[in-house]
Structure formats: C-alpha cells, structure tokens
Amino acid sequence: MTGGRFPAGGVIHAQSAASERRRGQQGFTLVEIMVTIAIIGMVSMIAIPAFSNSMLSGKLASIANSFASSAQLARSEAIKRNGTVSLCASSNGSSCSGGWTDGWIVLAGSSVISAQPALPSGFQMTGNATDIQFKSTGLVDTCTSLTLKKTSDNSQQRVLTISTTGRPKIEKTTATGCGA
C-alpha cells in the first residue's frame, strides 16, 4: 500500500504511531479555557446584582408586611374592644418611645398586644408620626405615611400609608403621599 498513511511495505515506525495517537487525543486548549472563564465572569456580573436586588426586595416586603399586619391588628382590636388602640414606635417593647426603626408595639391602654423588634441593621423607617391612634370605629384622625428603605441603597423602598379609614397600604415606589 503506497501513498496512504502507512509507509511503503506496511511497516509503521514508532515515531509515526505516537504522532498519530496525539492527533487523536481530545482536550481543551488554554485559549478555550480562558474564553470559558471570561464568559462565566460576564454572566456572573449580570446575575449577582440581580440576585442582590431580589434579596433586598424580599426583605423590604417582609418588613412592610409585618408593619401592615400590626396596623390591621390595631384596627381590629380597636373595633373589638370599642376603644382606642395605638400602633406606636417603641424602643423598649413595652411603651411608646423612640422611632419606627427601633421597633413598634400595638398597645391597648397599658396592655401590649403585639411587639415587633427593631429593624435589621442597615434599614430605616421614617415618617410623619410615631404614634397612630385607632378609634373604636377603626378610623384614625390623620393619614400617616412612612418610608421604609435600606440606608445604603435608595434604589428600592416601600411607602407604608395608613389612610384615615385605618387601612394600611404598601407601595413599591420612591414617592410618598397620603391617599385614601
């Protein structure tokens, strides 16, 4: 056989056989590995911030929902007890004191119905009042608007509004206001 891969006479030399085996082996080159690492890095740069935003959104929603639940509890307790019930900021968990970031309580007379601990580090809640009085009808005298946000990140915040009808509302926005 002549002109093929085998030398004349059909004898395969040891060097030719080794060369043939190397050509047949599969693997990745350094360039292919570096391109793969670069692509993984670019995808990570996109995915990690999105994941962080999702985590922040979940935390803000959790805190806002906890506050709305406390407002609903205070309203329903005021109607049930036929008397005034307070939802107020509390730094000690037993009396109205401090700011919303310190935590809050639902208070009927001198009895604490519910208490929420201070917000996680790095979060703050500010607003136009620190004490919301629910009347026996479930109404409040003035609309209250609170803004919940992470102190180091203004990209997301929640506006918690308690209308004069006593109903809480949560908005995922950066604008604040007291709508009914």
Task: Tell me the mean pLDDT per 10 residues along the chain, length 180.
Answer: 54 56 72 90 79 85 94 95 95 92 93 93 90 95 90 83 93 60
Residue 17 is assigned to a structural domain of this protein: no
2 falls within a domain: no
Question: Which pLDDT score is estimated for 175?
Answer: 44
The answer to whether the beta carbons of residues 128 and 144 sit under 8 Å apart is: yes
- Would you say residue 64 lies in a domain? yes
What is the reported pTM? 0.71
Q: Is residue 16 part of a domain?
A: no
pLDDT at 5: 57
- Is 153 a member of any domain? yes
DSSP letter at 118 equals P
Q: What is the pLDDT of residue 10?
A: 54
Q: What is the dihedral of CA 139, 145, 148, 152, to 10 degrees?
A: -170
State the pLDDT at residue 16. Answer: 59
Both tokens of residue 101? 């970031």
Distance CA 157, CA 171 (A): 8
The whole-number pLDDT of residue 114 equals: 94
**Predicted local distance difference test score (pLDDT) of residue 11:** 54
Give the residue numbers spanning the domain of 65.
30-172
139: left (phi over 0), alpha (psi -120 to 50) or beta: beta
Let me know if residue 21 belongs to a domain: no
- Count how many domains the chain has: 1
pLDDT (0 to 100) of residue 176 = 46
| 161 is a domain residue | yes
Tell how strand 153-162 and strand 144-150 pair up. Answer: antiparallel
Cα–Cα separations (whole angstroms), residue 98 to 24, 25, 86, 122: 75, 72, 15, 17
Give a yes or no: residue 23 inside a domain.
Answer: no
Q: Which two tokens stand for residue 157?
A: 């915040």
Q: What is the CATH number of the domain that holds 113?
A: 3.55.40.10
